[in-house]
Amino acid sequence: FPVVEGVSIHNRFTNLKAPTLILNPSVPNLPRASEKPFASSPPTPPTPPLRSPSSSGALRNPSKHLLEKEKVSESRVSNLSQLALLWILPPYCLLSNWAGMRAMGMDRLDGRNANQMRPLTCSRNLLHRAHGSARWSQGDTIVLAAVYGPKAGTRKGDDPEKASIEVIWKPKTGQIGKQEKEYEMILKRTLQSICLLTSHPNTTTSVIVQVVGDDGSLLPCAINASCAALVDAGIPLKHLAVAICCGLSETGSVILDPTKVEEQKMQAFMHLVFPNSPLAVLPEGSSSKHDEPFEHGIITSVTHGAMPERGYFNCLDRGRAASAAISEFLRRSLQKDGS
Amino acid sequence: MATSARGGGEGEAAAGGGGGGGAAAEMEVEAYRRLFPVAYFERHLRESVRLDARPLASPRDTSVALGLVGSADGSALVKFGDTTMVAAIKLEVMTPPAESSDEGSVAVEFYMPPICSPTVRPGRSAEVAPVISKQLSDVIMSSGMINLKDLCLINGKASWIAYLDIYCLNADGSLFDAALVSTVAAFTHLEIPLVSVSDDGRVVTVPGELEGKTKLPLVNKDKRKLMLNNVPFSLTCGLHKEHILVDPTAEEESIIETFVTVVLDTLGRVVSVYKPGGSVLAYTSILKECITLAKRRAQQLRNILNESVSAMEVDKSS
C-alpha cells in the first residue's frame, strides 16, 4: 500500500497558515490526479542539492529555496526520509513563533511549537480481506487497524443482548505482556462507548491493531486508527472519537503530541479521547444538566505521572481545542474516497 | 435461569414461616432483582440510595490488618466491605542491571484465584488481573512512593527486588482501590531483613538470632524500614446517568458501565485520572466532584492506615 499519501511541496508550504495549531494539510486537500506521478516513480535516495542549502539560507530566501526544490524532484517526494528532512528545516511560518517559543523555554527537538502536532496521515481500505481497515500516522508513530465483523455469537460471559467488541493488540516487537493487555482493555471500552451496541445483538466485532512504528502518543494513534477502521467497515457508530496526547512539563506548560523522548522528559503526560459529531445519539439526560457542550466531555482519560490538579485541567482544555482540529481532519479524510 | 430460580427458592425458604403473602413478596423482589437489574437499581437511585442502603457518596466500611502472613517480609489484609485483598512482599537480593546500578526494583503481580468470583475460571485468568497489575506498578512509579535508591545494598553488586503479590480473595467491586491500599499497607509493614556478605562474596540474609555471630551486617542495621513519601490513595466512582456512585460493589459494576478512578497523593497532586471508555461522558464538573470525593476518601484511608500501624506497634511492644 502507498507509503506516503501524495505530499507535494508546493501545496504543503502554501497551505500552511500560521495559527497556533498546525496540521499537515497535505493529505485531504490533494486532488487525486496528483497522486499518479508519486506512485509510478520508485523512491530514490536524496541527492546532494537538496541537502546543501543550510538552514540559514532557507530562512533568508525561502521562496527561492522552495522553487529550487520543486524543480529538482516532484517525484522524489515519495521518499519518507526527504519528508522528514523538509519538516526539520524550519519553515518560514515558524520564524515568528520561534522567538516566542524560546521565551517560553519550550524548545522542541523537531522544531515544533507547543501547540503543534506532527503531520497526520490517514488512509483507509488498505487490506482487502478485512471488512474495514485504516492506517493512521502521527509523525513516526504509525498504527494499522483492521476490523472484522460483525460475526455471529458472543463470548461466554458477555451480554447476548448487545454486540461485543474484541480487541487484539499486536506490538511491533516483543511478546504480548501486561502493557498490551491494558491497551486492549482501554481500546475495547473506548470503542464500546462509541458503537451502537444494540443494533446487532449477539455478535462480535474484532478489531486488530498492529503497531508499525512507536514514537510517542501510541494509544491515541491506535484509537484514531480503530475509529477510522470502524467507519471503513460500516459498523454503526453513535459518534466519532478523536484521541490526543498531551504532555505537562515541570513549569506547567502543556505540549501536544509529544514524541517518545519528550514523554520521558515530561513531568506527566496523558491520553485523552473526546467525542465528536455535529449530530449524535446522546445518552438521555446527559447534556441537559451541564452547561458544557457535548464535545467537552471525555470518553477516556489515561494519565502517567503525578501532576497538580490545575495542570490536569489545563491539559484537558488544550486537548479539547486540539481535538476540534483533529476531528476536522478525520472527517475530511473519511469523506474523500478511501485512497 | 438458575440464579433466578435459586433466588426464588431462597426467598421461599427464608419466608417459610412468615405466611403465604410474605413468601410471595420476597420471591418477587429477589426475582425482580435478577431479572431486571437495571430497573431495580434505578428504583433505588431515585430515592438516592444504593442496593446495600448506602447513600450515593459514601464508601463501604474499610479495615486494614497488618502482618498476617508470617513468612513474608511485609503483608497486609484489606477489606472494603466484602472485597478482600491480601498483599505480601518478599525481598530477594539481585544483581542490579548496569544502567541502574544503584537502584532496586519492585515487581507487582495481582492474582485473581478462582475463589474470588464465580466468573473466574481455573484455567484462564481473569481479564482484569494483568491490567490491575500494570496500573498498580504505574501508580507506584508515578507517585514516587518508593525511592528505588533505598533498595540498594551495594552499589553495582547487590540490591533488593521486592516481589509484591496481591491476592484477591473476594472480588466485590473496587478491586484497584483495595489493591492499592493493601500495597501501601504492606510497604508500611515491611521490615527489611538483615544481610551480610558471606565468605565467597555473596550477599546472604541473616536470620535475627545470628545477628552477633556473623560478619558486619551491611548498611541494613539502621535501614530496616522503607521510607514512604507521597503515599497514593485512590477512589473509584461509577457514573450512571447523572449520578456519581462512590466505591461500587460487583453488582453495581455489572450495571454501571462507566468508571472514573482518581488517585491522589499526600501532597494533593493528581497521580492518575483513569477513565477507560464508558457511555457517560465526563465533563469538567463531574471530574472536579470526583477529585473532591477522592480527597475526602484519601484522608479517611490515611487515618485508618495510621490507626492500624499504631495498633500493630502496640501489639509488638506488649
* Parallel, antiparallel or unpaired: strands B152-154 and B194-197: unpaired
Q: How far is A198 from chain B (nearest CA, A)?
A: 13
Confidence at residue A234, expressed as pLDDT on a 0 to 100 scale: 92
The answer to whether residue A27 is domain-embedded is: no
Say if CB B239 and CB B56 are below 8 A apart: no
Torsion of CA A262, A309, B145, B66, to 10 degrees: -150
What CA–CA distance (Å, rounded) separates B277 from A299?
Answer: 5
Compute how many other C-beta atoms are within 10 angstroms of the C-beta atom of residue A186: 24
Average pLDDT value for chain B: 85
Say if CB B129 and CB B117 are below 8 A apart: no
Establish how many alpha carbons lie within 13 A of residue B263's alpha carbon, considering only the half-sphere containing its beta carbon: 34
Confidence at residue B9, expressed as pLDDT on a 0 to 100 scale: 42
pLDDT of B318 strictly over 90: no
Number of domains in chain A: 1
What CA–CA distance (Å, rounded) separates B266 from B31?
Answer: 45
Confidence at residue A51, expressed as pLDDT on a 0 to 100 scale: 36
Confidence at residue A56, expressed as pLDDT on a 0 to 100 scale: 39
Q: What is the pLDDT of residues A162-183, one digit of tens each?
A: 999 999 999 999 999 999 999 9
B50: DSSP letter: -
What CATH topology corresponds to B62-190? Ribosomal Protein S5; domain 2 (3.30.230)
The answer to whether residue A2 is domain-embedded is: no
Of these ranges, A19-28, B130-139, B210-219, the one predicted with the greatest mean pLDDT is: B130-139
Beta strands in A229-314 (DSSP E): 240-248, 254-256, 268-276, 300-304
pLDDT of B102 strictly over 90: no
Q: How confident is the model over B16-45, as a mean pLDDT?
A: 78
Confidence at residue A94, expressed as pLDDT on a 0 to 100 scale: 42
pLDDT of B191 strictly over 60: yes
Q: How confident is the model over B103-129, as a mean pLDDT?
A: 90
Establish how many alpha carbons lie within 13 A of residue A325's alpha carbon, considering only the half-sphere containing its beta carbon: 19
Q: How far is B242 from chain A (nearest CA, A)?
A: 7
Which uninterrupted H or E stretch holds A48?
Answer: helix A48-51
Please, what is the Cα angle at A115 between A110 and A117, to 5 degrees? 55
Q: Higher confidence at residue B212 or residue B292?
A: B292
What CA–CA distance (Å, rounded) separates B265 from B76?
Answer: 20
Confidence at residue B156, expressed as pLDDT on a 0 to 100 scale: 82
pLDDT of B16 strictly over 50: no
Q: Which amino acid is at A106?
A: M
The answer to whether residue A129 is domain-embedded is: yes
Confidence at residue B203, expressed as pLDDT on a 0 to 100 scale: 75
Confidence at residue B217, expressed as pLDDT on a 0 to 100 scale: 59
Percentage above 70 pLDDT, chain B = 87
The answer to whether residue A65 is domain-embedded is: no
Contact between A186 and B133 using a beta-carbon 8 Å cutoff: no
Return the residue matching grid coordinates 530566501. A61
Q: What is the pLDDT of residues A245-272, one digit of tens each?
A: 999 998 888 999 999 998 988 899 999 9
Confidence at residue B30, expressed as pLDDT on a 0 to 100 scale: 87
Which residue in A has a C-alpha nearest to residue B138's C-alpha?
A304
Q: Which domain holds residue A261?
A: 120-280+294-336
- Name the interface residues of A facing B (CB cutoff 8 Å): 157, 177-179, 181-182, 185-186, 188-193, 268, 270, 273, 275, 283-286, 289-290, 292, 294, 296-309, 311-313, 316
Q: What is the pLDDT of residues B238-282, one digit of tens each?
A: 999 889 999 999 999 989 989 999 999 988 899 999 999 888 888
Contact between B281 and A192 using a beta-carbon 8 Å cutoff: no
* Parallel, antiparallel or unpaired: strands B152-154 and B105-111: unpaired
Q: What's the distance, CA A123 to chain centroid?
A: 11
Q: Which amino acid is at A204?
A: T
Confidence at residue B122, expressed as pLDDT on a 0 to 100 scale: 87
Q: How confident is the model over B120-136, as a mean pLDDT?
A: 90
Which uninterrupted H or E stretch holds A151?
Answer: strand A141-152
Confidence at residue A4, expressed as pLDDT on a 0 to 100 scale: 41
Which residue in A has a C-alpha nearest to residue B131's C-alpha?
A182
Which sequence spans correspond to the domains of chain B? 62-190
Q: Higher confidence at residue B218 or residue B57?
A: B57
Contact between A289 and B130 using a beta-carbon 8 Å cutoff: no
Q: Which of A269, A109, A129, A271 is nearest to A190 (CA)?
A: A271
Phi–psi pair at A193, nearest 5 degrees: -80, -15
The answer to whether residue A328 is domain-embedded is: yes
Q: How confident is the model over A118-132, as a mean pLDDT?
A: 93
pLDDT of A57 strictly over 80: no
Compute how many other C-beta atoms are within 10 angstroms of the C-beta atom of residue B198: 12
> And the C-alpha cell for A173?
516487537
Query: pTM above the 0.90 mark?
Result: no
Confidence at residue B210, expressed as pLDDT on a 0 to 100 scale: 55
Q: Tell me the CATH number at A249.
A: 3.30.230.70
The answer to whether residue A263 is domain-embedded is: yes
The answer to whether residue A15 is domain-embedded is: no
Q: How far is A236 from chain B (nearest CA, A)?
A: 15
pLDDT of A12 strictly over 60: no
Q: Higher confidence at residue B153 or residue B22?
A: B153
**CA–CA distances in Å: residue A44 to residues A8, A38, A53, A65, A73:** 16, 11, 19, 21, 10
The answer to whether residue A245 is domain-embedded is: yes
Q: How confident is the model over B286-299, as a mean pLDDT?
A: 93
Phi–psi pair at A153, nearest 5 degrees: 85, 150
Say if CB B210 and CB B93 are below 8 A apart: no
What CA–CA distance (Å, rounded) separates B89 from B76?
Answer: 9
Confidence at residue A113, expressed as pLDDT on a 0 to 100 scale: 86
Q: How confident is the model over A19-44, as a mean pLDDT?
A: 38
Which residue in A has a C-alpha nearest to residue B267's C-alpha?
A308
Q: Which amino acid is at A59?
A: L
Residues of B in contact with A309 (CB under 8 A): 268-270, 291
Q: What is the pLDDT of residues A86-122, one digit of tens each?
A: 444 444 434 434 444 444 445 778 888 888 899 999 9
Confidence at residue A278, expressed as pLDDT on a 0 to 100 scale: 65
What CA–CA distance (Å, rounded) separates A240 from A232?
Answer: 12
